[in-house]
């Protein structure tokens, strides 16, 4: 039951997805890696001599180029780990060529830092009519975090009422300032207004204005900031009993100080400015100055911890539940020459694609990961590098 897969995007996550697909040749018999810069693809392919990986150059903003590449390679599905701005063009190309689709981050327009699933959910009928499937946000958060919630709903709760997704990177990469994934996307994400769901509506707060220490397994308490994250939008839609849903992420003081200075001088702006007679976008210039996220892996120490803390009702009684994964940066590097943030995104993307190709997660239309049966994913994700732990009934480190 071997299949061909086209992976678009040759950054840190693309590297992990290629390597993990190459570890499962019985499913992914042929792999092509494509990005705007073919040399990046070649570097990844050459570093995996045990697998025969084809490479190609493609502009993922250009639907005809994408269509031509897909028609030439004839993959069964496309794994999109390019930029979120390119989700819709790649979905358009998949529709035109009749191949399945998976990505790890929801679409956002380039000229506005706004995360919303409406643009991609609007493709539902077109994918259904073509008998094609699109699986959205199949990284860790979004992705595995939602599968954790689906697992909790299936096995632990009659109703879920309170959800906190908690994300800690307690690693040290030795750089004064660096982002763990695409700097442009990372900085856009955390500098926009915070937002959380409460009692049937979204509450909007100034960026990084609510924060507190949260206890993370094997790490201890870390100052955590409430920010908006895309999986909240689909989770409150698919689990309507949720009364409040929040997302928390840790940031060190040095990171926040650097970020505040860069915001104050305008270098995180996404609005074009004139510089020496040409137009540049400050945040794109900043991206060119910062370390490549994929280059941080080798000397990265420490670990990530990402989980879901849930309170709800089971058999008429209050119940608390916590499910999480801890991933050591060094383990990620040993497996995939990557740091933990790229690894925790790339491994679920491979497994989601594998389950689609095997027909286990396969139904026409556009879906978020929590709409799939969580059991096959939960049974296999540990084998591929991201084992999970759970505690039931213990007090959670949150007020409710």
pLDDT in tens, the chain (400 residues): 669 999 999 999 999 999 999 999 999 999 999 999 999 999 999 999 889 899 999 999 999 999 999 999 999 999 999 988 899 999 999 999 999 999 999 988 776 666 789 999 999 999 999 999 999 999 999 999 999 999 999 999 999 999 999 999 886 665 655 555 566 666 767 778 899 999 999 999 998 899 999 999 999 999 999 999 999 999 999 999 999 999 999 987 767 767 777 777 787 787 888 888 888 888 788 777 776 655 655 667 789 999 999 999 999 999 999 999 999 999 999 999 998 999 999 999 999 999 999 999 999 999 999 999 999 999 999 999 999 999 998 655 555 4
pLDDT for 2 equals 67
Specify whether the CB–CB gap between 128 and 364 falls below 8 A: yes
User: Nearest 5°: phi and psi at 267?
Assistant: -85, -5
pLDDT for 265 equals 74
pLDDT for 9 equals 97
Helix residue spans in 23-86 (DSSP H): 38-46, 63-73
The predicted-structure confidence for 203-259, as pLDDT tens digits, reads as follows: 999 988 999 999 999 999 999 999 999 999 999 999 999 999 999 999 877 677 677
Residue 196 half-sphere exposure toward CB, CA atoms < 13 A:
21
pLDDT for 180 equals 55
Angle at 248 (CA atoms; ends 245, 254), nearest 5 degrees = 160
**Order of strands, edge to edge, in the sheet holding 3-8?**
53-57, 28-35, 3-8, 77-80, 100-103, 133-136, 365-368
End-to-end CA gap in the chain: 48
pLDDT for 286 equals 77
DSSP 297-335: STT-BSEEEEEEEEEEEETTEEEEEEEEEEEEHHHHHHH
Which residues lie below 8 Å from residue 249, measured CB to CB, with a gap of 6+? 167, 168, 190, 224, 225, 227, 229
Specify whether the CB–CB gap between 143 and 348 falls below 8 A: yes
Q: Which fold has domain 144-328+387-392?
A: Dihydrodipicolinate Reductase; domain 2 (3.30.360)
What's CA 350's distance to the chain center, in Å? 12
Task: Convert 151-171 to b/e letters by CB count within 10 Å (16 or more is b).
Answer: bbbeebbeebbbbbbbbbbbb
For residue 14, what are its two tokens?
Answer: 């693309």
Specify whether the CB–CB gap between 182 and 168 falls below 8 A: no
pLDDT for 113 equals 61
d(CA 250, CA 272): 30
pLDDT for 176 equals 57
Specify whether the CB–CB gap between 386 and 327 falls below 8 A: yes
The predicted-structure confidence for 160-208, as pLDDT tens digits, reads as follows: 999 999 999 886 665 655 555 566 666 767 778 899 999 999 999 998 8
Q: What residues are paired with 79 via a beta bridge?
A: 7, 102
For residue 315, what are its two tokens?
Answer: 């058999």
pLDDT for 175 equals 64
């Amino acid at each position: 039951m071997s299949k061909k897969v086209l992976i678009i995007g040759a950054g840190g996550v693309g590297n992990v997805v290629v390597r993990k697909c190459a570890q499962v040749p019985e499913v992914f018999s042929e792999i092509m890696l494509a990005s705007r810069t073919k040399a990046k693809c070649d570097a990844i392919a050459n570093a995996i001599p045990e697998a025969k990986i084809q490479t190609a150059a493609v502009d993922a903003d250009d639907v005809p180029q994408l269509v031509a590449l897909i028609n030439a390679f004839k993959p069964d599905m496309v794994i999109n780990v390019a930029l979120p701005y390119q989700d819709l063009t790649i979905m358009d190309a998949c529709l035109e060529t009749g191949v399945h689709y998976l990505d790890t981050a929801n679409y956002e327009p380039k000229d506005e830092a706004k995360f919303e699933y409406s643009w991609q959910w609007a493709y539902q009928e077109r994918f259904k009519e073509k008998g094609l499937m699109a699986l959205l946000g199949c990284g860790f958060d979004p992705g595995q975090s939602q599968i954790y919630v689906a697992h909790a709903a299936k096995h632990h709760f009659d109703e879920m009422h309170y959800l906190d997704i908690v994300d800690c990177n307690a690693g040290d990469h030795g750089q004064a300032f660096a982002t763990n994934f695409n700097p442009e996307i990372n900085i856009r994400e955390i500098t926009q207004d915070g937002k959380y769901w409460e009692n049937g509506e979204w509450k909007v707060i100034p960026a990084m204005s609510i924060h507190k220490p949260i206890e993370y397994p094997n790490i201890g308490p870390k100052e955590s900031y409430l920010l908006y994250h895309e999986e909240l939008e689909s989770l409150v839609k698919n689990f309507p009993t949720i009364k409040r849903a929040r997302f928390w992420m840790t940031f060190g003081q040095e990171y926040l100080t650097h970020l505040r200075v860069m915001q104050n001088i305008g270098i995180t702006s996404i609005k074009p400015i004139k510089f020496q007679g040409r137009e540049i976008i400050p945040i794109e210039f900043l991206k060119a100055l910062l370390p490549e996220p994929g280059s941080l892996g080798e000397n990265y120490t420490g670990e990530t911890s990402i989980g879901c803390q849930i309170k709800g009702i089971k058999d008429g009684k209050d119940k608390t539940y916590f499910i999480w994964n801890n991933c050591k940066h060094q383990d990620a590097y040993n497996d995939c020459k990557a740091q933990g943030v790229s690894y925790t995104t790339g491994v679920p993307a491979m497994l989601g694609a594998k389950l689609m190709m095997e027909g286990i997660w396969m139904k026409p239309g556009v879906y978020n990961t929590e709409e799939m049966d969580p059991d096959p994913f939960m049974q296999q994700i540990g084998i591929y590098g991201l084992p999970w732990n759970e505690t039931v009934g213990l007090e959670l480190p949150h007020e409710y």
